[in-house]
C-alpha cells in the first residue's frame, strides 16, 4: 500500500482513478455519472475571483515591525507603547493600472500596503510609493482610472486618454512629475519608499489629536530603472519584481524600511498655508521634520500565493484606538470603497480569511453570509443589548470629537488649492541628470499626443517652473510663447484622434 495521502473528492470520498474519465466503451462519449470529472471541471471554471480593478498585479511577504522611537505622547495605540516591542505584519506591493498578469516594470505608481496584526486589532496602512496622488476629489477617481486603463473601443492603453485627463486636471502635475521622474520605475520593490500619502490622525490618552503623515524609507536605498532597462526586462520576465522580492527573502536578504512620521498638532491645520488634507500636497520637511518610529522587515515568503496575497484585503479604516482618519476627501472615499471592493471580490466574510484575520479576539454580532466557514458564533446571543453575557462596548476607546462647520455644498476643489508650486519644488531639487530623465520620459509619452493637448499640458509645466516648461516646449518642438499662452478650449470627437 502506498504511504502517501489518499486522493479524495471535495467531499472526502476516495478516488479510484484520476487519469481516465468514465465513457461508454473505450472510444465512446463520456457519462454524466462521472461525478469526479464534473467536480474537477466545475471547480476549475471557478478558480479565478474578480481581479482588483486597480492594483491587480502584486507581490506579498510576511515580516515584522519593531518600535524604535517613542511616539506614545501622540497616540494611545498599544502598538507604539514600548520601544523594542514588535508586531507581525504582512505587506503587498503592486502596480496600479496593469492587469494581474501584466509586466512588473511598467511606469506606474506602486501600491505599498501593510497589515499590522496588533493586539488591539488590525492596522492597515494602504499607501503608495509616492507621497501624493493625481486627484484630490474622489468624484474624479473612476474617470481618472478609466483614462489610465484601456480604450473602450480598441481595448488598448492610450497615451491620448491619459494626457487628455491630466492636462484637464492640473492638480495631477505634482504626481505626474514624480511618475515620469527616475523614481517612476523602481529597480526592485525593495528599492522604493512607501508613504501614507493621506493625512491620518493620532490621538493620545489626554484626547489630544495630531495630524500625521507616514513615511517608509527604504534601507536598501532608492534604485530605479530607465525606460529602456524596464522594457528589456519586461520582454524577458513579466514577474521581475515579484521574483526579486521572493528570491531576496529566500536567500535571507531581508528588505527593511525605516518608519517615520510627520506630526502636526490639530490646531495648526487651520492656519497652515498648505491645505493639510489635500492629497496632491506634501508637508515640506522643514515645516514638519521626520520623527523616527520603527523598522519594518520582510522575512517570510507566502506559502500559497492565492490564499495569502490574492486574498489579502487591506482597508484604510482598520485602525486601533489611538489612530484615526482625517478630513482628506480621498481618504474619506477610500474608507468606503476598499471594504466595498473586498465584499465584491471575496464576499462579506473576507475579514475572517486567515490572511486577514486579526491576531486579537474578534467579537461581533455579525452572523451568516456567503461562505461563512467558521463556527458562526455557535449558539451565542446574536443581538445587542442582551442579558446573556454577549460582548459589550468599551467607552474608554472613544475617539476625541472633531469640530466641523460649514455649508453643505460642492466646493470647487481648485479654489484655495494651488496646483503647481510643489511640482516646481520637486523639479528644482532634481539633479541635472534626473531633470534630463524626467524630460526624456515625458517627451516619450507625450510625443504621440495631439498638439492641442500637448500645449494644454505645457502650460502646467510652465506654471510649475519656467525651465521645466521651456525644456518640454523645446523637446516637443512647440514655440515657447504658444505653450505659455492660454489656449482656447478644444472639444474633439473621439474619432478625431484620441
C-beta of residue 198 within 8 angstroms of C-beta of residue 330: yes
CA distance 350 to 341: 10
Joined together, the cell numbers standing for residue 97 give: 493600472
Nearest to 104 by CA among 314, 221, 246, 214: 246
Q: Is 241 a catalytic residue?
A: no
Q: Is 55 a catalytic residue?
A: yes
Stretch binding ligand NDP (CB under 6 A), from 6-14, 329-337, 423-431, 466-474: 423-431
Stretch binding ligand NDP (CB under 6 A), from 32-40, 102-110, 422-430, 465-473: 422-430
- What is the closest distance, in whole angstroms, from the C-beta atom of residue 302 to ligand NDP in the complex? 28
What phi and psi, each to the nearest 5 degrees, are found at residue 335?
A: -60, -35
Give the Å distances, CA to CA, from 446 to 281, 355, 431, 435: 24, 42, 22, 16
- What is the closest distance, in whole angstroms, from the C-beta atom of residue 426 to ligand NDP in the complex? 3
Give the count of residues interacting with ligand NDP (CB under 6 A): 16
Q: Which is nearer to ligand NDP, 223 or 366 (CB)?
A: 223
Q: Which is nearer to ligand NDP, 76 or 435 (CB)?
A: 435
Q: Which is nearer to ligand NDP, 219 or 371 (CB)?
A: 219
- What is the closest distance, in whole angstroms, from the C-beta atom of residue 364 to ligand NDP in the complex? 37
The packing angle between helices 466-476 and 421-429, to 10°, is 80
Q: Which is nearer to ligand NDP, 145 or 430 (CB)?
A: 430
DSSP secondary structure string for all residues of 44-98? HHT-PPPPPSSS-SEEEEEEEEEE-S--TTT---GGGSSTT-EEEEEEEEEESSS
Largest CA distance in the chain: 86
Q: Which residues of 73-90 are buried (b: 16+ CB within 10 A; e: fewer)?
A: ebbbbbbbeeeeeebebb
Pairing of strands 86-95, 121-128: unpaired
Interface residue with ligand NDP among 54, 160, 425, 444 (CB under 6 A) is: 425
CA distance 455 to 450: 9
Interface residue with ligand NDP among 114, 263, 426, 446 (CB under 6 A) is: 426
Q: Which is nearer to ligand NDP, 181 or 356 (CB)?
A: 181
Within residues 267-286, the interface with ligand NDP by CB under 6 A covers: 282-285
Q: Which is nearer to ligand NDP, 83 or 222 (CB)?
A: 222
Q: Match 463520456 to its residue by C-alpha cell.
A: 30
C-beta of residue 137 within 8 angstroms of C-beta of residue 120: no
Within residues 212-251, the interface with ligand NDP by CB under 6 A covers: 222
C-beta of residue 107 within 8 angstroms of C-beta of residue 227: yes
Within residues 304-343, the interface with ligand NDP by CB under 6 A covers: none
Q: Which is nearer to ligand NDP, 122 or 193 (CB)?
A: 193
DSSP secondary structure string for all residues of 102-149? S-TTSSS-EEEEEEEEEBTEEEEEEEESSSS-S-SSGGGHHHHHHHHS
- What is the closest distance, in whole angstroms, from the C-beta atom of residue 296 to ligand NDP in the complex? 16
CA distance 198 to 376: 36
Interface residue with ligand NDP among 148, 172, 422, 483 (CB under 6 A) is: 422
CA distance 175 to 411: 22
Kindly state whether residue 131 participates in binding ligand NDP, applying the rule CB under 6 A. yes
Catalytic residue among 122, 128, 129, 193: 128
Interface residue with ligand NDP among 113, 129, 175, 193 (CB under 6 A) is: 193
Q: Match 510663447 to its residue by C-alpha cell.
A: 481
Catalytic residue among 20, 43, 45, 55: 55
Joined together, the cell numbers standing for residue 434 give: 534626473
Within residues 133-192, the interface with ligand NDP by CB under 6 A covers: 178, 181-183
Q: What would the x/- binding string for ligand NDP be over residues 79 to 118, using CB under 6 A?
A: ----------------------------------------
Interface residue with ligand NDP among 24, 32, 429, 488 (CB under 6 A) is: 429
Q: What would the x/- binding string for ligand NDP be over residues 430 to 449, using CB under 6 A?
A: ----x---------------
Question: What is the three-class DSSP state of 465?
Answer: coil
Active site residues: 55, 128
Residues that bind ligand NDP (CB under 6 A): 131, 178, 181-183, 193, 222, 282-285, 422, 425-426, 429, 434
Amino acid at each position: 500500500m502506498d504511504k502517501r495521502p489518499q486522493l479524495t473528492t471535495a467531499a472526502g470520498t476516495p478516488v479510484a482513478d484520476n487519469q481516465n474519465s468514465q465513457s461508454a466503451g473505450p472510444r465512446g462519449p463520456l457519462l454524466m455519472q462521472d461525478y469526479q470529472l464534473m467536480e474537477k471541471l466545475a471547480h476549475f471554471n471557478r478558480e479565478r475571483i474578480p481581479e482588483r480593478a486597480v492594483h491587480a498585479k502584486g507581490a506579498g511577504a510576511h515580516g515584522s515591525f519593531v518600535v524604535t522611537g517613542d511616539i506614545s505622547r501622540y497616540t494611545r495605540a498599544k502598538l507604539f507603547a514600548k520601544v523594542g516591542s514588535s508586531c507581525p505584519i504582512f505587506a503587498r506591493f503592486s502596480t496600479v493600472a496593469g492587469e494581474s498578469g501584466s509586466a512588473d516594470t511598467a511606469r506606474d505608481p506602486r501600491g505599498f500596503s501593510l497589515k499590522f496584526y496588533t493586539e488591539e486589532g488590525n492596522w492597515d496602512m494602504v499607501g503608495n510609493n509616492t507621497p501624493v496622488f493625481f486627484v484630490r476629489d474622489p468624484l474624479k477617481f473612476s474617470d481618472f482610472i478609466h483614462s489610465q486603463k484601456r480604450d473602450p473601443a480598441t481595448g488598448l492603453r492610450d497615451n491620448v486618454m491619459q494626457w487628455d485627463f491630466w492636462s484637464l486636471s492640473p492638480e495631477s502635475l505634482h504626481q505626474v512629475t514624480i511618475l515620469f521622474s527616475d523614481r517612476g520605475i523602481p529597480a526592485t520593490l525593495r528599492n522604493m519608499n512607501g508613504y501614507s500619502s493621506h493625512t491620518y490622525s493620532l490621538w493620545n490618552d489626554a484626547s489630544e489629536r495630531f495630524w500625521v503623515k507616514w513615511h517608509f524609507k527604504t534601507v536598501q536605498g532608492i534604485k530605479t530603472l530607465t525606460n529602456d532597462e524596464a522594457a528589456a526586462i519586461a520582454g524577458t520576465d513579466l514577474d521581475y519584481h515579484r521574483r526579486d522580492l521572493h528570491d531576496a527573502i529566500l536567500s535571507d536578504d531581508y528588505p527593511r524600511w525605516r518608519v517615520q512620521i510627520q506630526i502636526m498638532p490639530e490646531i495648526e491645520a487651520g492656519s497652515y498655508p498648505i491645505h493639510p488634507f489635500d492629497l496632491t500636497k506634501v508637508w515640506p520637511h522643514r515645516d514638519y521634520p521626520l520623527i523616527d518610529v520603527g523598522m519594518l522587515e520582510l522575512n517570510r515568503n507566502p506559502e500559497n500565493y492565492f490564499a495569502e496575497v490574492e486574498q489579502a484585503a487591506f482597508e484604510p479604516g482598520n485602525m486601533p484606538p489611538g489612530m484615526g482618519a482625517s478630513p482628506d476627501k480621498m481618504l474619506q472615499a477610500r474608507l468606503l470603497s476598499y471594504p466595498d471592493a473586498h465584499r465584491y471580490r471575496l464576499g462579506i466574510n473576507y475579514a475572517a480569511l486567515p490572511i486577514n484575520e486579526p491576531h486579537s479576539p474578534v467579537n461581533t454580532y455579525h452572523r451568516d453570509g456567503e461562505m461563512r466557514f467558521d463556527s458562526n458564533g455557535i449558539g451565542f446571543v446574536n443581538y445587542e443589548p442582551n442579558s446573556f453575557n454577549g460582548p459589550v462596548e468599551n467607552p474608554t476607546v472613544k475617539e476625541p470629537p472633531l469640530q466641523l462647520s460649514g455649508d453643505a455644498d460642492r466646493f470647487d476643489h481648485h479654489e484655495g488649492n494651488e496646483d503647481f508650486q510643489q511640482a516646481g519644488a520637486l523639479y528644482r531639487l532634481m539633479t541635472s541628470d534626473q531633470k534630463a530623465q524626467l524630460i526624456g520620459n515625458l517627451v516619450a509619452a507625450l510625443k504621440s499626443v495631439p498638439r492641442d493637448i500637448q500645449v494644454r499640458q505645457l502650460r502646467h509645466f510652465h506654471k510649475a517652473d519656467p525651465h521645466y516648461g521651456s525644456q518640454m516646449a523645446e523637446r516637443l518642438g512647440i514655440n515657447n510663447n504658444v505653450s505659455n499662452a492660454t489656449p482656447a478650449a478644444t472639444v474633439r470627437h473621439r474619432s478625431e484622434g484620441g
